[in-house]
Structure 1
């Protein structure tokens, strides 16, 4: 067993878990990642509602896909390192 390969496979599992957890805990937004969110507010004087953008990070499916793809790459490299060391 190659220690680097084992480390990369474990890192892949952790990365996939953290990516999924962050995506789920921030609302599981099924659109693209947003850095500004539209919020409706009410004017105190006139009582009219208006929209305002607030800076907020909402990871979307691109964030989820990139994190899971990176985890797959880590696992693949770890598996390849283990295969190469076992062939020697």
Structure 2
């Protein structure tokens, strides 16, 4: 059986790429789970309510974090940076 001539990836390179994938999947999952918006993040969400006696509609604000496209972009940026960083680690070739 012929030995493969390809080099094996460095363990650090493999770790960084797996970490980048986990960060990307994690941030997208977090964004969807928290009902992510396509606008900026919010930490106060408007809630429409109706007065029971007069029937007048009014707005109150609920303290809740809703991640926006900025949170998603930052998380994917970190994942991309980890992936690019993995290219700087190479396996040692025997001489």
Query: Given the two structures, how large is their TM-score scaled by the length of structure 2?
Result: 0.80
CA distance in 1, matches of 2:56, 2:40: 30
Relative to its length, the structure with more helix (as a share) is 1
* Aligned positions of 1:3-82 closer than 5 A: 3-82=11-90
CA gap of 1:37–1:87, structure 2 versus 1, over 3 A, is farther
> Mean Cα displacement is larger for which, 2-11 or 63-72?
2-11
What RMSD, in angstroms, separates the aligned Cα atoms of the two structures? 1.7
What stretches of structure 2 of length at least 5 have no aligned partner? 1-8
Structure of higher CA gyration radius: 2
CA distance in 2, matches of 1:77, 1:86: 17
Q: How many residues align?
A: 86
Stretches of 4+ moved more than 3 A in 1?
Answer: 85-88
Q: Is the 8 A contact 1:32 1:61 kept in 2?
A: yes
What stretches of structure 1 of length at least 5 have no aligned partner? none
Instruction: Report the Cα offset of residue 23 of structure 1.
Output: 1.4
